Amino acid sequence: GYPGKFYCPRMATMNKPTYAAITSHSPKKPVLVFVSSRRQTRLTALDLIAYAAADERPDQWLHIPEVDLQDVLAKVKDPNLRHTLSFGIGMHHAGLTETDRTLVEELFCNQKI
């Protein structure tokens, strides 16, 4: 377990080990990271982007040509999802529109993110 009385700080302490595990065990293949809330989904995605940027590899999980990426991003309704997708990180939760969720599913299944 992870120490800490409060939920958000405890979850934040898990993001760096999560990033390390992804880069170590699945650097080229898609990965699912489960968290317990919509808010935590966004925060975890942003932390993973920050860790990747600190490693000077912010787009390491993006496997789609820039021109195609721009077409995809133009279809996305949620601004947070649009931001994370530009780094190859998708989010999937009930607060997204059906079209955004389907788009993330397709990108993940096709190993684009």
pLDDT tens-digit map of 59-99: 999 999 999 999 999 999 999 999 999 999 999 999 999 99
What pTM was computed for the model? 0.89
Name the percent of the chain lying above pLDDT 90. Answer: 86
**Nearest Cα to Cα of residue 73 among 93, 88, 92:** 88
When pLDDT is averaged across residues 16-43 and rounded to a whole number, the result is 94
**Which range is most confident: 9-13, 28-32, 103-107?**
103-107
Mean pLDDT computed over every residue of the chain: 93
* Distance separating alpha carbons of residues 69 and 82, to the nearest angstrom: 10
**Nearest Cα to Cα of residue 89 among 109, 67, 59:** 59
Residue 16 region by backbone torsions, left for phi larger than 0, else alpha for psi between -120 and 50, else beta? alpha
- Any residues with CB less than 8 A from the CB of 64 and at least 6 apart, and which? 72, 88, 107, 112, 113
